[in-house]
Structures are given as C-alpha cells and as structure tokens.
C-alpha cells in the first residue's frame, strides 16, 4: 500500500526502521492524495536534487504500517493531513500537520539538517 507519487515510499515498519537507521536526515510525509497533501509531495519532489543530503519519502496514511507515524508523540493533537515528520539520526526533530509551502518546508530543512 503506497501512494501514487513520484517520490520514494515507505511501505512497511521494517522499511521505516531501515530508512531511519541508514540515513542521517529524513523527511517523511504521511498522507493521502488530497488537496492538502499533494502540494507537499510536489515540493519534496522538487527539493530532492537541492537537498541531496536529505532522504525524502512519503507514506500512505491508510496503510496499517503508518500507525508508527500516526502514534508518534510529536503528532499528538494533529488533525490535518498530511503528517510530515523530520528525523535527525533516527530522532524526530520537527513535525507539522496539514499543508505546508516550499518556504515553510525549507525553513525546517535548513534549520534542522544544515
């Protein structure tokens, strides 16, 4: 169960753990193909080249394995798709709920991963 985007996906908890273990900087956007989610995937796709030190992934919100993201303490109180989580060395360093624009995303990437 993955999203029909051009991004690389996260399909299982095992894959999620591997990605966090093997990459220093990770951004995962967990959502559906809705109007608040698509713009975030679009920005991530565009940033992949410029931010080659960041691993960009998406995950289908309705995939049962996405429970790992839905139940993060940092996502407590989140009631808007997508849930976007930023990880440094496997630890959550930032999390946002609902649509974000390029400026808001790069502000977090520059702050946390540079």
Partner 1 sequence: MEQKKYDVIILGGGPAGLTAGIYLARGKAKTLILDTATIGGQMILTYQIANYPGVEKISGYQLSAIMKKQATTFGCEIVSNIKINSLGLDSPVKKVTVNNKITYTAPAVIIATGGRSRMLNVPGEPEFKGRGISYCATCDGDFFQDKEIIVVGGGNSALEEAVALTKYAGKITIVHEFDHFQAFEHAVTEAKNNPKISFIMESHIVEFLGDESLKAVKIKNLKTGKINKMNTDGAFIFVGYEANTHQLKDTGLELNKWQEVVADENMNTNLKGVVVAGDSRAKRYRQVTTAVADGTIAALSVLEYLNS
Q: How far is the CB of 96 from partner 1 (least distance, A)?
A: 7
Q: How far is the CB of 17 from partner 1 (least distance, A)?
A: 26
Neighbours of 18 (CB within 10 A): 12
Which of 49, 68, 51, 53 has its CA nearest to residue 10? 68
The residues facing 104 across adjacent strands are none
Residue span binding partner 1 (CB under 8 A) among the ranges 13-21, 26-34, 51-59, 86-94: 26-34
When asked if residue 23 is in the footprint of partner 1 (CB under 8 A), the reply is: no
When asked if residue 71 is in the footprint of partner 1 (CB under 8 A), the reply is: no
């Amino acid at each position: 169960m993955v999203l029909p985007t051009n991004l690389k996906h996260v399909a299982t908890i095992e894959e999620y753990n591997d990605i966090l273990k093997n990459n220093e900087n990770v951004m995962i956007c967990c959502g559906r193909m809705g109007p608040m989610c698509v713009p975030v995937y679009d920005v991530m796709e565009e940033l992949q080249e410029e931010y080659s030190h960041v691993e960009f992934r998406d995950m289908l919100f309705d995939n049962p394995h996405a429970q790992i993201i839905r139940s993060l303490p940092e996502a407590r109180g989140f009631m808007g798709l997508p849930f976007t989580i930023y990880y440094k060395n496997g630890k959550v360093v930032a999390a946002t709920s609902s649509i974000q624009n390029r400026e808001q995303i790069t502000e977090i990437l520059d702050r946390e991963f540079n």
